[in-house]
């Protein structure tokens, strides 16, 4: 890390952290990459912890396998979402740049769509109800959101609009100069869609019966994130190549409105469904023996012949 960077603005100095956390030979490990890695692993362990209490949506083995599917959904969906929603013409002209994920450019809304698709396919193959599975994933998602926004702050990117609030910060630009004092909107997002939303979903998923009505936890997450994003977008600087849509709203706000509506509908719908009792928890010592098919009762053995050996059944004499 380098020393605090001085500024000529009436604002708090930018922290001056290096976007590269550490280097292993020629490989540079960035804070943003660490945020994804730690977020996925911590979320996976958190899902394990939630699944320990009834209703058990899946087995321990299913929870382990889910990590790979979630990772693919986040990365592929997040990248394609950014390409489609935020900068399609640039990538049409330079399609190979789609693969340069390390240069930045990920969309939360695209990552959400990728995760939902991955969970639907995973649940369909394993016989796990989609809404019960998505409730667990939704409860863990704010962990990654919090870490991602902190990484945005460290990188000095996605900052807010010009402001004169006492906590405004001047962020460094690529040419070595600094911006005018701006809202540290990355921290606003980390607080709302990360910390606050995590605590609300923790209370619902662990200390109430919400998970017995699949869709409540996921619906609250969608509505909560959407509202948080809409609010913070009033303080966040819009993407330079997009600006304001119709001179009023940002792309982030536009994509968040259907999230809020769908989340409210999921919560309303969940009130009218039967309680979810969960699946039987599968432990290793209860696994079927080798050669037996899961769910199939072992074949019954034929009763032994109780007749004594050497004795033959007498034939009846004919009339």
Q: What is the pLDDT of residues 199-212, one digit of tens each?
A: 999 999 999 999 99
Pick 25 or 308 by higher pLDDT.
Answer: 25
Q: What is the pLDDT of residues 276-312, one digit of tens each?
A: 887 655 444 344 444 444 444 445 555 555 555 555 5
Q: What is the pLDDT of residues 40-54, one digit of tens each?
A: 999 999 999 999 988
Contacts of 85 by beta carbon, 8 Å cutoff, 6+ apart: 107, 109, 110, 251, 255
Query: What are phi and psi for residue 279, nearest 5 degrees?
Result: -100, 155
Q: What is the pLDDT of residues 157-181, one digit of tens each?
A: 889 999 999 999 988 887 778 889 9
Tell me the domain boundaries of the chain: 20-275
Is the predicted pLDDT of residue 79 greater than 80, yes or no?
yes
Cα separations (Å) of 7 from 158, 170, 175? Answer: 19, 7, 14
Query: What are phi and psi for residue 15, nearest 5 degrees?
Result: -60, -30
C-alpha angle 20/21/25, rounded to 5°?
A: 80
Compute the distance between CA of residue 135 and CA of residue 143 in angstroms, rounded to an integer: 14
């Amino acid at each position: 890390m380098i020393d605090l960077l001085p500024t000529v603005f009436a604002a708090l100095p930018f922290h001056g952290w290096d976007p590269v956390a550490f280097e292993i030979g020629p490989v540079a490990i960035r804070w943003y990459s660490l945020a994804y890695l730690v977020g996925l692993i911590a979320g996976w362990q958190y899902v394990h912890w939630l699944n320990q209490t009834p209703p058990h949506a899946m087995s321990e083995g299913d929870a382990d396998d889910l990590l790979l599917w979630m990772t693919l959904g986040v990365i592929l969906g997040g990248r394609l979402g950014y390409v489609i929603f935020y900068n399609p013409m640039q990538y049409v002209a330079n399609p190979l740049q789609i693969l340069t994920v390390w240069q930045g450019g990920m969309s939360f809304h695209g990552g959400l769509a990728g995760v939902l698709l991955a969970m639907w396919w995973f649940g369909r193959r394993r016989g796990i109800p989609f809404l019960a599975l998505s409730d667990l994933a939704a409860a863990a998602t704010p962990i990654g959101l919090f870490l991602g926004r902190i990484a945005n702050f460290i990188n000095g990117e996605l900052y807010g609009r010009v402001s004169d609030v006492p906590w405004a910060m001047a962020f460094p630009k690529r040419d070595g100069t600094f911006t005018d004092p701006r809202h540290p909107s990355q921290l606003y997002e980390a607080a709302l869609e990360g910390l606050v939303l995590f605590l609300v979903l923790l209370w619902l998923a662990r200390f109430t019966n919400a998970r017995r009505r699949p869709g409540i936890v996921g619906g609250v997450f969608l509505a909560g994130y959407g509202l948080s994003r809409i609010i913070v977008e009033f303080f966040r600087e819009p993407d330079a190549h997009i600006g304001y849509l119709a001179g009023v709203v940002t792309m982030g706000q536009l994509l968040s409105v259907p999230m809020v509506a769908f989340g409210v509908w999921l919560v309303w719908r969940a009130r009218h469904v039967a309680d979810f009792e969960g699946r039987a928890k599968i432990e290793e010592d209860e696994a079927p023996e080798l050669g037996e098919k899961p769910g199939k009762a072992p074949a019954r053995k034929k009763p032994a012949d109780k007749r004594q050996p050497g004795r033959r059944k007498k034939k009846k004499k004919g009339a």
